Amino acid sequence: MYARRRRLYFAMMGTCIGLFVLAWGVVRIWSIPAAVGMCVVAMLIPPVAAMVANRRGPDDRWWDDPSGDPQSDDWWDELDGKKRRQ
């Protein structure tokens, strides 16, 4: 799951950079409004790419899920204030 999200993130960011380069290197010669529109689209891609890359997959362990190691889980519960120190 992680590799697929990472590839999708880099594809989206590559598209973003490509849109900027094409907009101001090629498209602005014929149409400045089209170049600005391409930049607006490119501006919206990075936040979406970050959300895609950071979403939790079905097999991902969440930060508060027990790890299976009783000593580690007790230590984290103590740090989080879920358990009193004995």
Rounded Cα distance, 83 and 60, in Å: 25
| Alpha-helix runs per DSSP H in the chain | 2-25, 32-54, 70-80
Which pLDDT does position 16 carry in this prediction? 96
Which pLDDT does position 59 carry in this prediction? 64
Q: Could you tell me if residue 22 is inside a domain?
A: yes
- Residue 13's domain comprises 1-56
Q: Could you tell me if residue 75 is inside a domain?
A: no
What is the number of domains present in the chain? Answer: 1
Per-residue pLDDT of the chain (86 residues; tens, 9 = 90+): 678 888 999 999 999 999 999 999 999 999 999 999 999 999 999 999 999 888 877 666 666 666 778 888 788 778 777 766 55
Which pLDDT does position 82 carry in this prediction? 72
Which pLDDT does position 5 carry in this prediction? 85
Which pLDDT does position 63 carry in this prediction? 63
